[in-house]
Amino acid sequence: MQDKIDRINTEILKDQIALEDLEIDHQKKLKVLEEEYNLLEEDFYRIRTIFEQSAEAAHYDADYFNNPDGLATFYKALGDFSEAAETKFFEDRNQLTQKEEAILTDFSRKKGLLEEELNQKYYQRKRYFEEAES
């Protein structure tokens, strides 16, 4: 009987370690995802800053060279490019959100399975102890 108890204790310990490893892996994945979100936002705001600086320069050039048509053309191109950049940003952010949801779903599923196995082994160990006492 002691062999059975020792074996189930070893299995429980392995499952507990697997559960901890799963949690650590999950946290690493979330950290990488957070970094991806941050880089995406940094890129987007960097592009917006460039747009704003370009607009200021275009105003200066239009005033200096007395070329309001050039300014209108520039703003049209800048607006189109800005809209495309914003659309790309939101598409990329949506992809990251979907990736995050997949990570959370996968983690929850794996954690649930491991916890269920662990609970079954706890119950089995309890039965072994009860058998040993009787």
| Segments forming the whole domain that contains residue 28 | 2-133
Highest average pLDDT, of 1-15, 21-35, 71-85, comes from 21-35
- DSSP labels for 105-125? HHHHHHHHHHHHHHHHHHHHH
Q: Which residue has the higher pLDDT, 29 or 72?
A: 29
The rounded mean pLDDT for the chain is 90
Q: What pLDDT does 83 receive? A: 87
The angle that helices 68-133 and 2-65 make with each other, rounded to 10 degrees, is 170
Q: Domain total for the chain?
A: 1
- The torsion angles phi and psi of 58, rounded to 5 degrees, stand at -65, -40
Q: How many alpha carbons fall within 13 Å on the CB side of residue 101?
A: 6
> How many angstroms separate the Cα of 15 from the Cα of each of 22, 24, 47, 60?
10, 14, 48, 67
The pTM of the full predicted model, rounded to 2 decimals, is: 0.74
For residue 69, the model assigns a pLDDT of: 76
Predicted confidence at residue 71, as pLDDT, reads 73
Q: What whole-number distance in Å separates Cα of residue 9 and Cα of residue 76?
A: 71
> What CATH number does the domain containing 55 carry?
1.10.287
